[in-house]
Structure 1
């Protein structure tokens, strides 16, 4: 189908705003990578009216999708890991246009996966992991087992993604296939939760016990981004942390994450008197 799409991407390639164009062909009959389309045409541009513009095409019995994405939007997806198919397209798709080796340099960066970028990603995944784990535990204690199960499945998914990132890889769409090779212990835990013939209550009970250790063992690496930033100042208000340009990526789960770290003794609190009698501001700090 590339020949059919050539006039479309050649027109885009001639525009100075276009940074790179990649074509991704469907490899299997049922493929989640291409959203069921036979061909994906990814066009990265400097600027556009909308950060994402998608157009669908059909030819005979085949279909294609053009994704026009701004550089800013692409960078945000890559940082937050919120569009995992994009990593797959960039790494394995066929480059048909590459201004000043933009796509090639991006590929090198994705493969090298600088530790700085990994720390932010691990902070995001760890915050989500703690949120899901704590919510799951609360539902379990109130005997809402199906709600607890839902949260636990999600918490294991974030634990899996955290383990993959920690090992220097980008989580793929088929993350459990990666985890099976990298962290078989987490994979086994997930298998037992999903496939065990025990009652749902018993499965959750056993999983919470096992998860406690796995989460504890990853607290230092998962919270390293937050701790590194907090170490720059003597104390922080919650608002200062919430609106920090890097921490803001996981600010929605920040309160739960901080309470977890206080419980573990990683983060300390300090009470500062307010004008109201007996009411104190609560500040957070990392002990040297």
Structure 2
């Protein structure tokens, strides 16, 4: 197999823009990791016009997919966690070309999971958790139970991912398998939501109560990254927060996170007069020093 595909990736490896090549073969119990393809050729490049370029091949009675991905896109996926297959590819793939050990270093960093990277990922997951929980609660209060149920399932998933990251691990595709070992309390909550014979209204009611406690317990670690960024200035406009390079990955969930932290008295609102009578600019600051 590798002999047949070698001509494809060797051509790419000879290009100075190519940082590395990883070959990922389909495994019987992890077919989803390669999207049913027999082989994935992951070509990591320094720069490209498109952050992701995909090409499909047939050979013998098999199929292969070549993914040409920029280093920036790889880093974005690893940070935000919205492409879980990339973890599998880097963990389980075979490095067949590695310029200046860039891919080996990347794999080492994945295993070590530096604390700074963990803080950002915890912040992003916490913001997504607050978004799903808040939207679910509003839907529940308006008797839209099935829509609320959908949001609650997603909120539990973010809570599970947050717990895994907090314990120093990358959330994998089988995140509930991880959580069962690491945080059985969250796993039990998820199990009760899915398997309980209670009415959907009763299940959601109990889950909102339990989730509120678990979210409160993780507010400090979940907001640490945002608060550390905010400590560099006296106060911030929301646009300043939104456009800060470290906070960009929070995306549309940043607003709801800020409002949640104001409600919990972790952030304060600073009102600054405008030219309009009775209208104020709204700025935000931390209520206390972290250190």
TM-score band (shorter)? Answer: over 0.9
Superposed CA offset, 1:92-115 (max 9, x none): 111111111111111111111111
Partner of 1:197: 197
Whole-Å separation in 2 of the counterparts to 1:280 and 1:137: 30
Superposed CA offset, 1:169-201 (max 9, x none): 111111111111111111111111111111100
Partner of 2:78: 78
5+ residue gaps, structure 2, are none
Q: CA deviation at 1:121?
A: 0.9
Whole-Å separation in 1 of the counterparts to 2:79 and 2:17: 23
How many residues matched?
Answer: 288
Q: CA deviation at 1:278?
A: 1.3
Partner of 1:148: 148
Q: CA deviation at 1:29?
A: 5.8
Structure-2-length-normalised TM-score? 0.96
Partner of 1:272: 272
TM-align CA RMSD: 1.1
Aligned ranges for residues 74-113 of structure 1 at < 5 Å? 74-113=74-113
Partner of 2:251: 251
Partner of 1:133: 133
Whole-Å separation in 2 of the counterparts to 1:100 and 1:181: 37
Q: CA deviation at 1:30?
A: 6.0
Whole-Å separation in 1 of the counterparts to 2:32 and 2:153: 20
What SS does the corresponding residue of 2:118 show, helix, strand or coil?
helix
Whole-Å separation in 1 of the counterparts to 2:124 and 2:228: 14
Most deviating of 151-160 and 251-260:
251-260
Residues 24 and 93 in structure 2, CA contact (< 8 A), matched pair in contact too: yes
Most deviating of 47-56 and 143-152:
47-56
Most deviating of 202-211 and 224-233:
224-233
Aligned ranges for residues 37-76 of structure 1 at < 5 Å? 37-76=37-76
